A and B are shown apart, each in its own frame.
Chain A
């Protein structure tokens, strides 16, 4: 949109500028106090938070064990195509776990409407809230919401203590420059719009599974 087609822009900015000539009162800042309960043991905290948000957290020693864990998860879901992020680590792991299922890889496009599960990596795991940070330039946007089950594979080294560190890391790694989106996901899709009763699996996945490998490189 050319500037000329949006005269409102200059007028709004002028009104803001004029409005701000009057200074607004400001509350006393007071002494700086710690806001959040601190995270002593990130892994333990992450697991606790996952339990509270119905995220299935599976802690495994290495990639081989991750493949095993993935296999058991896939056995628990109905037959049908699954979708996976096109990454070397996932190729190795999924190959050992898919058990004959059709796998659509992200380099072929986004997940199909009938996908039973999606498998992605993550940028980091946030211990304080049991959250997963995912960037769009991996498997795309639909990958982490389109199927009934979303499985994340991550390493323990990707765990950060809290949201502040996750966002600082995102800034440091300039994720907003190489990705159009960043997604912070905590638990599976849910709603309490009906009589405040919690129901899982509204429009997004009913299950979120996070497989954490203690040692990524083994």
Chain B
């Protein structure tokens, strides 16, 4: 068992037992579910929308080189710069070198899972720059020194009282003295006040990108708050970091992707700000950054691309729907996973980006219920890929020897009906014997992993086979 999996087991145990936290998650997700029902009403046929999004991403990924080159060419034609980063450290180095060369002291950052993935913020802070998360949820978890809890709603696990207490501690100057301390509108206003100075003084704005539009050479960013807008209007440098899989072929593809992303992400029909950026400020324009850099990140994505069976994992538009649908996520929350990407997509993706050996446990931490696959707007076969990861782990001889042995024995037992019947009889007899000897609940009790959480089952005296022979054949 690796450290990551030990950590996960500990965290999962702790979080599953945290009833108030589970209830908070449940409330947030119930609201999300209700909102999604309303958002879906804009679609005559939501399944047709999902299929269309699947088609767009399939087209993009299966011609990825062509579309990336087209995108790059158009961005460069407008005076933008494109850097292709093979690994996280290459991307980090590029941004850090740029910040150093330009004397950047303050950075405003929009939400970017890729920036999380490459741990960009600590690298910039080491330079002595101050980095401000401007998405409210990200800002909140940044103040708490913790990672985001959820791809779309980073502070989903906190109550307004938690946030009020945090702001009183860390944002005292921005809190209005008169107002009610835990009124969400007041808290938002305090964050706005605190961050507005950062926006107007920052030299660099960093964003992610939801999509890279090839035929127009534009990046597309989606927010509700408008923090991406201020962060790309005011500072003199804009750096956008995106995984190479974010590319889409055509501008018109957004006509269905934008609404679907909004509905699956928050239940809205469309998000408030959908921004398309293709370069630095154009010569005749009133304002805007002097420099525009797009960092394209590989960091294991080309390996996943090469896995034809799981290539569709790269369809992901990071909407978070699978997290919300997942009963495991609902029980343990986002932090327990211990990875940048949590929930079903995280469990499928992380072994590919960071190694199957160390992260296969996430693919096993699922009942394979399939709810994720049902809601994924780009039709990724998520739960089957969890299974595929398991199969790959076994093939790589990466499983505990005790488990391998157990299944080999199990297969032998199941390979003949007499063996099968004997094993059944032996199992039942042993379990009854353990009970009779008063050893239930001890290490000799084979059922202990089960009875830790369940009342002891009744062990039948007779097998079905025996019952059939006696009564059933009539």
Contact = CB atoms under 8 A, between A and B. Distances in A.
A–B contact, 8 Å CB criterion (strictly below):
yes
A179 B415 CA distance: 70
Interface in B352-411: 379
Nearest to A126: B270
A187 to B, nearest CB: 5
Given A6-B83, A181-B277, A194 B44 contact: no
Contact of A33 (B48, B234, B256): B48
A110 B286 contact: yes
A23 B286 CA distance: 47
A144 B285 CA distance: 14
B184 A171 contact: no
B64 A20 contact: yes
Interface stretch (B10-18, B247-255, B466-474): B247-255
B312 A204 contact: no
A136 interface: yes
B196 to A, nearest CB: 8
B254 A163 contact: yes
Given A9-B84, A33-B45, A33-B48, A194 B184 contact: yes
Given A33-B45, A35-B52, A179 B282 contact: yes
A96 interface: no
A37 B286 CA distance: 38
Nearest to A37: B44
Nearest to B273: A185
Interface stretch (A24-32, A62-70, A210-218): A24-32
Interface residues of B, number: 107
Interface string A128-169: 110100001101111111100000000000000011101110
Given A12-B86, A37-B44, A27 B302 contact: no
Contacts of A191: 136-137, 188, 224-225
A184 B251 CA distance: 13
Contact of A29 (B43, B51, B191, B277): B51
A35 B31 contact: no
Contacts of B146: none
B132 to A, nearest CB: 11
B230 A145 contact: yes
B437 interface: no
A190 B272 contact: yes
A168 to B, nearest CB: 6
Contacts of B68: 13, 16
A40 to B, nearest CB: 13
A32 B208 CA distance: 33
Given A12-B298, A142-B233, A181-B276, A35 B187 contact: no
Interface string A98-111: 00000000110110
B159 A195 contact: yes
Interface residues of A, number: 83
A149 B217 CA distance: 31
A26 B58 contact: yes
B200 A113 contact: yes
Contact of A136 (B216, B271, B274, B285): B285
Interface in B70-109: 78, 81-86, 90
B69 interface: yes
B346 interface: no
A136 B140 contact: no
Given A24-B62, A24-B312, A146-B230, A129 B269 contact: yes
Contacts of A196: 27-28, 31-32, 153, 156
B134 interface: yes
A203 B286 contact: no
B311 A194 contact: no
B347 to A, nearest CB: 21
Nearest to A148: B192
Interface string B227-264: 10110111000000000100000011011101100000
A88 interface: no
A176 B48 contact: no
Contact of A189 (B49, B225, B270): B225
A178 B68 CA distance: 22
B81 A139 contact: no
Contacts of B31: 196
B200 A129 contact: no
B322 interface: no
Given A23-B308, A199-B184, A202-B226, A35 B256 contact: yes
B155 interface: yes
A18 interface: yes
B279 A180 contact: yes
A207 B100 CA distance: 38
Contacts of A107: 286
A183 B273 contact: yes
B197 to A, nearest CB: 9
B225 A20 contact: no
A71 B276 CA distance: 32
B266 interface: yes
A73 B251 CA distance: 35
A13 B72 CA distance: 12
A137 B216 contact: no
A171 B251 CA distance: 8
Nearest to A109: B286
A18 B280 CA distance: 33
9 contacts: A8-B84, A35-B43, A36-B259, A140-B285, A141-B285, A163-B255, A184-B274, A193-B155, A204-B229
Given A38-B44, A191-B188, 12 more contacts: A1-B83, A16-B244, A16-B305, A24-B308, A25-B308, A137-B285, A141-B233, A142-B230, A181-B275, A187-B272, A190-B224, A205-B226
